[in-house]
Amino acid sequence: MSDITETIEIAAPVADVWAVLADFESIARWAPNVAHSSLTTGRCDGVGAGRRVQVGRNALIEVVITWEPEQTLAYQLSGLPPIVRSVVNEWRLEPAGMHTTTVSLTSRIEAGSRPPQKVAARAFGRVLARSSRTLLDGLRDHVERAAAAASRHGAPS
């Protein structure tokens, strides 16, 4: 197994960041690398919620396996290249001050135990790290723009 973690600071409280992540169907609104997203299940939150995301030519299915409000969201990905057995993305939120949140995104890649599989997992991990950075930057930009707009209009963020 190979873990790749990317981290970012967002100038907004944990509740604001969680609200965006918890709107599970709407990832295409803030993730620049997601062209389209839609629910694949009857539920839009909690363990078991599923969505289909279009990333370039790839259609991925993501199913929530951990849902801890304002703390952790993790989902299993399917539809990836066959060089990987499984991938789980796990988002973790931690307060880093009154109006700042540290967000980490860890991708856990399982490709197998043989040396060629381990090499493939490391190579795929580099691709996922770039994707994770894009997701984190998009989340930060979306949340911080919303917070700035709310403060300009006198609304609490």
In a domain, 29, yes or no: yes
In a domain, 96, yes or no: yes
Give the integer Cα–Cα distance in Å for 131 and 115. Answer: 25
Residue 122 has what pLDDT?
A: 78
Neighbours of 121 (CB within 10 A): 21
In a domain, 83, yes or no: yes
In a domain, 76, yes or no: yes
Length of the chain: 157
In a domain, 157, yes or no: no
Question: How many CA atoms lie within 13 Å of 23's alpha carbon, on the beta-carbon side?
Answer: 14
- The residues of the chain scoring below 70 in pLDDT are 1, 154-157
CATH of the domain at 6: 3.30.530.20
Residue-range definition of the domain harbouring residue 142: 2-152
- Total number of domains in the chain: 1
Percent above pLDDT 90 for the chain:
64
Residue 155 has what pLDDT?
A: 57
Torsion of CA 116, 122, 127, 129, to 10 degrees: 160
In a domain, 138, yes or no: yes
Residue 154 has what pLDDT?
A: 65
Give tens-digit pLDDT for 14-46: 999 999 999 999 999 999 999 999 999 988 899
Q: What is the DSSP string of 56-122?
A: TTEEEEEEEEEEETTTEEEEEEES--TT-SEEEEEEEEEE-STT-EEEEEEEEEE--SSHHHHHHHH
